[in-house]
Structure formats: structure tokens, C-alpha cells
Structure 1
Amino acid sequence: MSARAGVSGFATRLPAMLDDLALLVAAESPSADHHAVAHSARVIADVGRRLLGSDPEILTIDGCAHLRWRRGRPGRGILVLGHHDTVFPVGTIERRPYSVEAGVVRGPGCLDMKAGLVMALHALALTDPDVGVTLLVTGDEEIGSPTSRALVEDEARASAACLVLEAAADDGSLKIARKGVSMYEIAVTGRAAHAGLDPERGVNATTEIAHQVGVVAGLADPGEGTTVTPTVLRSGTSANTVPDQASLRVDVRCRTRKEQERVHQSINALRPQDREAELRVVGGPNRPPLEDAASACLFRLAEAEATALGLSVSGAAVGGGSDGNLAAGVGTPTLDGLGAVGAGPHTTDEYVVVDELAPRTALLAALLHAIPVQAGG
């Protein structure tokens, strides 16, 4: 069977794909549990060995297991990018077992993104072995890729294009743009005092951090799509003490590098309103934006290949970040959202639409054949 067999060819593989998805979902893999992530890596390696006929490299970095297959001729090929960690703790599957009912798959991590990994492996199984492809599956994407970031960026720099198997947007669209993500903690040190006897001797960290909340929130720019969201706030130790410590966490999302840098500079320029308070800022950009220009050539190609398959695709800009941001950030053409269609990632309602698995896998396989000739145009 050839990858050019189209949607019907992959439809014949659907039962096997669902069986493999059941195996991957059963291998629970919360990011912070390195033992569970290592077990998940072994399960994926077994499935990949059966489908691709070769073992992956298992790259363990600071205790976290990542997998890499290299196939085809050497040179600047295609990076197929995914992750096998999830946000759900071990034991979730006992409460939410894998199931296929009424045309949908359910189970922890099925959409984000165990189904995308199954699609990648089955698409590669039917891809011309001469096509240069690296399949990289990381184990810590859900917590910001602390051990895999350099690995993703190095592989992207060496590749002509990057295809990301994160789930599609809720309406099935490919993700042609993602906001960049920055994370900050603003810490205030004041001076403690008894709130009843001598509050004037204190320097109130709660009052100071409250002022900073308003300043930070004011950095948002809805017209530019920039969100600056104060999130976790901590202050004080007792009800009758002027607090001497307070902290604020801030989540920033920006469509462009220019906006990301503007907010970064503004947050680092914060100064305390009370001159006796001390203010410290830590953090910064975690992922650069995946801007429209980074995906444009690949999205045009996806539209053409979808038409040839009798399908249609649309594109959407989304607020969440992924490792696709990292690939685009080093200058590699990147198209995201090529994974499963469904809804509810990170929630108890997460599901995958079964009828979309074969068409989307066929599109991925078609892109793997088309990109070496046309990517970057």
C-alpha cells in the first residue's frame, strides 16, 4: 500500500490505529513523573518498531525520556514533532478508561496528543523510505519543554520544514499561528510590623503588589492580541501583621515578537510605588510566537494536498503555545495542528473524532511526500 492510496487506504488501517491508540493512552505519562514517562517511551518504541521496522533512539535528558527516529536520505529533511507527556496524574485511566463509543475516542491524553503520535507512526509506515524524515517525540512539552527545548531547536535548524502533530483547533482547522508565551513572577519585599500596635513602622507588601497588579494588567493590548494576565497572588502570613512578602505570577501571550519584547521590557522596568519596598522580577519569554509567515508556504501546500485527497482544510490562529513555537522561532517553516480532530484537551471531556483519523493521516502522509519538493517556496 502506498501513502498515495488516499483516505480509503488509511481507512483500512483504522482498526489497527485504534488498537495502537489504546496502548498509548494506557501508558499514562504525566510530565513530572519520569518513571511513567520512561514507561510510555518504551510503549511508543514498541509500536514504532512494529510499524517502522526500526528502533528509535531513546534520549534521556535530566531523567526525562524523549524518542527520535531518523529515516530516509540525509540532508535537510522534514521534522515531524510531537510529545508523549500529558497533564493527567497516574491513575486517571482507572476513572476514565479508554473507550470508543458513538464515533469518539475517550481517555486521558487521547487528543493531546497520543492520537497524533499514532497518526505520525502510521503515516510514516506508508511513506517512501527515501524521504528524509526525523520523528521527534518529547516527554516534557506540557511543562514548557525544560529538558527538550534545545533538542527541538537543534532538530528544527537542521530541517527544511516542521510538521507538528498537536491536535487541530476545535473546528478542525490547522494551526497557522500561535501566540508566544512569557511567564513572570514579581516579588515584593516590605517590612513586617504589628497591624494594631505600630502599622506605620511596616512596609506593606500587599499594598505594593496590589498596585503592581493594576500596572501589569494595563500592559495588555487587545488590538494587537496581547494578553497580560495576573494569575497566582500570594501575600501575608497572619491577619494582624503588616505583610513583608508578596508575589504575583503573570501569564503573557503575544502574536508577534515585537509585542513580546515590548511587554518584557515593560515588566522588567517596573519600580515600587513605595520607595521603601523592594521589587524583583524573574522570568521572561518561554516560547516565541509562531507567526503567520512561518506557516504560510506549508499551509498553501496543505490546501493543495487536501484538495487532491478530496478534503478541505482551514487555518486558525490560537493562543496556546506548543513546541511548534520553538521550531518557528529558529526560522524553520512550521505547520501545527496536524494531529487529531476533537475537543476538550486537558479536561475530563477530552475526545477524538474517529471519522477524522483516516483523512487527517492521509493528509499528513501526502505532505511528507510533497514537502521535499515544494517547502520553502
Structure 2
Amino acid sequence: MTELVTRAEQALQELIKDIETLVRAESPSDDLHALRRSADLVAEIGSRYLGREPERIEIDGRPHLAWRLGNGTRRVIILAHHDTVWPIGSWGDDPWSLVDGVIRGPGCFDMITGILQALLGLRLLIEDGVELNGVTLLVTADEEIGSPTSRALIEAEAQGCSAAFVLEASGPGGAVKTERKGTSNYFIDIVGRAAHAGLEPEKGVNAGVELAHQVLAINQLGNPELGTTVTPTVLLAGTTTNTVPAKARISVDVRVRTIGEQHRVDDDFRRLQPVLPGAVLDIDGGPNRPPLQASASAALFARAVELAEEAGLEPLQSMAVGGASDGNFTAGIGIPTLDGLGAVGGGAHADDEHVIVEKIPGRTALLAILIKDQLAHGPGHPASA
């Protein structure tokens, strides 16, 4: 196992150069041209590492890539994404930096480095003669916007797997993510009636006032003791300063730890009623990602701790986070899932996004060890007996 770390270290300069290529390409989720260019690069790099080209799966213009290795029954799925949150040019003319062992650039931490770690980890196993029958590496193009076109693909590819490994960036200090909140999004459109604010306001139905009533009601739907947050975010109402608003809109972000709370909040939203006579509510949205509950990751994390210790790697820590990932989908269909196995660093979605280079070989080797361990067990065994 320690030999895997050494070989990952020997390949580090090649891997860094490939990270640089993808960071410089820039691949914001809302730019389909940039995503196609990024997918071409990931496919080219991945083909060099794995000795075979991926299947390119384009859905609504979004290019997803799948390497299905071997011919056996699905056993292990590895999830990554090549879209990022950064509009092109956000980091200036030169988005790449490597100074004093720290990589900086848009998407380097979330999650370009994770893609390369997955590719190198698989290559190390191929070089060792490990038969990767039933292993799928899926690199999607819309994770940062909720995976609207890739969710069905992820769930289909994960069916029957004994483990899902998610190469999202790690938590502070390299902690893997063993629990993620589920997410829901709601949009409440309010229809009132316009009137002149000076001449006859009483003839109007003020959608802005109705908005205020609904925001206060929505704000009571959370449950801090259970970790449920219900947060009105974007509020819109009115058109001119002398007109009673005829329309308004509320956007709401919901985060939950359990599927029961997700259903409870959804039911509460469906029960919202207008307060002002004549006002009408149109409620859209609902659950997006189910929660990744601790039970979905417990056995895999325990095994990862053992394997990391045997390999002489740093002791593994775990954490629960409020953000969601594609690992929520695999956990949601009952697949044991371990998340946050990607880069060690910080600043996801922030202007200090960075990756610590010296941590890359160990994380790469850990993934390789986890995959090999799963393949050794046979189907249906998320951890050793």
C-alpha cells in the first residue's frame, strides 16, 4: 500500500500539468461551449491515463463522460464533475498559479484536482494488474447547478454498486464528508392586483405585502434542533414607485439532515395560503437532493480509516456539511457512499480557492486502495467483514 503512495508521488508533476490544463480551460456551468471544450480535454487526458476513451453522453447540450471499465456487473462508481462556478475571466487573464506548493485557480479545489486524482488512482491499479471489472468513472457537467441533466444518469450507473466514491473536495484538514444535508428549492409566485398608489390604492391587492406575510410564515418552517434550515433568499416585488405591486416572488433554500424532514417541509410549503383577500400563490419547486445520512457512509468510512492506517497515511477525520453533492443521489438510492475524497485545500467557490500539492499523492493512493479493497470483497459488501 505504501508503494502506491510512492508511485503517486512519482507521477505528481504530470498530474499537476494536467490540472493546470483544465484550470486554464475554465468551465462555468452556464457556458455550454466552455463545457464542451472542457469535456474534450478531460476525455483526452483520461484516455492517456486509462488507455481508453470514455463514452460521451450529451444531454440538453451538457457533455458528461463515462469510463466503464471491465465487463462485469457494476461494483464501484466514482463520481466527479468538470463544471465550475466561476464565469470565464473571473480570475483575470491568467487563472493559474502554483507558488510554494499551493495551486490556485478557478475550480482547482472544487473539483478539477479530484478528477485527476481519480484518473491517476485508476491508472495505478491498472499498472498493478488489478482487474477493474465493474468500475465506472462518471464525470458530469452540471453538478454545480443541481445536476438537472445528470441525476438520472448517476442513479442508473450507481444501481447495484457496493460503493460510491465521490471526489468532491475534502473538508478542513482533509476530512472526508460522511454526512451531507439534503436540499430543496422553492419558488413562490404571488399574484395581486395593480392599482395607482396615490389615487386608489384600496383597489389593489399588494403582492409585496403578501410577500412579507409569506416570508414570515416561511421563516418559521425550519427546525434548528433537527438541523433543518429554511431560508428565504431572493425577494422580488413591484414595478414602479407609484403602483401597487401586482406580482412578487420568493425564492427559498431548504437544507435537511433526514428524508423525513425533507418531506415534512415539502408538505408545509404545499399548505401555505394567501393572507390578503384576492391574493393568489403559485408554489413551485421541491426536493432536489436527498440527504446523505451518516448511515450511508459509516461502514465505508470505518474501512477507510483502517486502510489509511495500514498504508501509513495521515489519520482520517470525518465531518458533516450543509452543502450537497452528487453523492446525495447515490446515498438516496441506497448505495454506500463516501464523499470528500478529493483535494485537500480550501476556498471552494471563493477567491482564495486552493489545493495543497503535497497532499495529492496520499489522497490518490487512498482512493486506489479503497477501490481495490471493494473489488476484493465481491458484490454487496461495502466494507470488510
For 1:234 and 1:94, locate their aligned partners in 2 and report how far apart those are by CA, in whole Å: 32
- Structure 1 residues 154-200: Cα deviation after superposition (integer angstroms, max 9, x where no partner): 01113221000000012311000100000000111111111111111
Displacement of 1:7 in angstroms is 2.0
Alignment check: 8 A CA contact 1:96 1:108 kept = no
1:54 aligns with 2:48: no
2:352 is aligned to 349
2:327 is aligned to 324
2:257 is aligned to 255
1:333 is aligned to 336
1:376 aligns with 2:382: yes
1:314 is aligned to 317
- Tell me the amino acid that sits aligned with residue 347 of structure 2: G
1:166 aligns with 2:138: no
For 1:29 and 1:286, locate their aligned partners in 2 and report how far apart those are by CA, in whole Å: 23
1:280 is aligned to 282
Query: Structure 2: any 5+ residue segments left out of the alignment?
Result: none
- Structure 1 residues 276-313: Cα deviation after superposition (integer angstroms, max 9, x where no partner): 11011000000000000111111111101110111210
How many aligned positions are there?
Answer: 375
For 1:262 and 1:59, locate their aligned partners in 2 and report how far apart those are by CA, in whole Å: 36
> In angstroms, what is the RMSD of aligned CA positions?
1.3
Alignment check: 8 A CA contact 2:24 2:94 kept = no
Displacement of 1:373 in angstroms is 3.6
Alignment check: 8 A CA contact 2:74 2:158 kept = no
1:25 is aligned to 23
Query: What is the SS of the residue equivalent to 2:174?
Result: coil
- Tell me the amino acid that sits aligned with residue 261 of structure 2: E
1:177 aligns with 2:183: no
TM-score, normalised via structure 2 length: 0.95
Identity of aligned residues (%): 51
Displacement of 1:146 in angstroms is 1.1
Query: Structure 1: any 5+ residue segments left out of the alignment?
Result: none
- Structure 1 residues 84-119: Cα deviation after superposition (integer angstroms, max 9, x where no partner): 001111233544521111221011110010000010
Relative to structure 2, which stretch is displaced further, 289-298 or 93-102?
Answer: 93-102
Alignment check: 8 A CA contact 2:189 2:282 kept = yes
- Structure 1 residues 42-100: Cα deviation after superposition (integer angstroms, max 9, x where no partner): 11111111111111111111111010111134113100000000111123354452111
Matches within 5 A, 1:1-377: 5-127=3-125, 128-132=129-133, 133-311=135-313, 312-374=315-377, 375-377=381-383
- Structure 1 residues 177-236: Cα deviation after superposition (integer angstroms, max 9, x where no partner): 100000000111111111111111111111111011011011111110101000000001
- Structure 1 residues 116-145: Cα deviation after superposition (integer angstroms, max 9, x where no partner): 001000000011441231000001111111
Alignment check: 8 A CA contact 2:4 2:124 kept = no
- Tell me the amino acid that sits aligned with residue 5 of structure 1: E
> Hey, which bits of structure 1, 4+ residues long, moved more than 3 A?
92-96
For 1:89 and 1:208, locate their aligned partners in 2 and report how far apart those are by CA, in whole Å: 35
- Structure 1 residues 322-368: Cα deviation after superposition (integer angstroms, max 9, x where no partner): 11001111111110000001111111110001111011111001001
Alignment check: 8 A CA contact 1:71 1:129 kept = no
Alignment check: 8 A CA contact 2:53 2:67 kept = yes
Alignment check: 8 A CA contact 1:4 1:366 kept = no
Query: What is the SS of the residue equivalent to 1:283?
Result: strand
- Tell me the amino acid that sits aligned with residue 250 of structure 2: L
Alignment check: 8 A CA contact 1:186 1:247 kept = yes
